[in-house]
Structure 1
């Protein structure tokens, strides 16, 4: 049976990212993170109803929004527009450090919706895996093509080196023969 999906959220680069995944490991893998963002405090499980609704509508799909905004998450997001405020003096605002835990909404779990979301996540995971396999196959084909070109160039270089060595040996043999003839001619002229 498919595992229950949870919503995870992080900020990477210019975007806030969210995904509905069965585990933190699956979320990290979908984000392409190489380190554990959850242990570093850069990622967390989200209980925001808007974020949960958006991710559950498209489980397994990484949704984005501009960093620092509170707009809706989507598959594609524009870059943040308020980054040019660097010239303006920053306003210092203090927020309470104490985070109050939100009350969990004890609504009855919709088992059919959970199953549907879990299946959609599994489909999306398979799609991503197929896409990764295609990319890997294309990279492997490109590596093989490059290796064939390198092998062909190396064979041509080896052939040219052999031809050069043969010609150089032939020229040396001719030079030695001419030197012998020259020595013979000098001996004959002295005698």
Structure 2
């Protein structure tokens, strides 16, 4: 059964944000908040009939309007035009506070609420499928890269073994040549000694 949606509102950067979500946690995730704005007093549940109607029409979608304005929420909003103003006066703040505290006179449409909740749940499942598909693609890419790494490592290991084998063969040949060289030097020393002795005898 779809969970009942509530409308939550906050301000981030240059915009007021609103969303219809089943919980504060879901709202924070949709806003991309890295801290609990509700505990900090920076976010709240909204009962404004216009805001509730706008969010329920697009459940799970973050709606925006320029920060501090009283305009309607939408998926896209222009930047506020009064950023250089000194800010709201006390009278304006009191007026807004009184307006915010007024209870909604619009009757609650249970059928619309259920429809919005079902739409949110459907959208959430779609987003979960998209995330799962993206994660599967990333996992496949990681496996492909790992296979390439394993193949390259195996080729390097094989080349190192072949090099070690050839180096060992060359070293054996070097040692054999060194041994032959020493034997030849010993033979020559002996032969040279014999011939020099014969030369001395011949010279008398």
When normalised by structure 2's length, the TM-score is 0.77
Count of residue correspondences: 186
1:39 maps to 2:34: no
Query: 1:23-172 counterparts in 2 under 5 A?
Result: 23-67=23-67, 69-75=69-75, 77=76, 80=79, 82=81, 91=86, 94-95=89-90, 99-100=97-98, 102-172=101-171
Structure 2 distance, partners of 1:107, 1:143, is 53
Structure 1 distance, partners of 2:175, 2:68, is 84
Q: Provide the alpha-carbon RMSD of the alignment.
A: 2.7
Which residues of structure 1 form unaligned runs of 5+? Answer: none
Query: Cα offset for 1:2?
Result: 2.7
**What corresponds to 1:10 in structure 2?**
10
Give the number of the structure whose residues are more often helix, by fraction: 2
Which residues of structure 2 form unaligned runs of 5+? Answer: 191-204
Structure 1 distance, partners of 2:69, 2:170, is 79
When Rg is computed on C-alpha atoms for both structures, the one with the higher figure is 2
1:17–1:107 CA distance, 2 compared to 1 (3 A): closer
Are the equivalent residues in 1 in contact too, given 2:65–2:73 (CA < 8 A)? yes
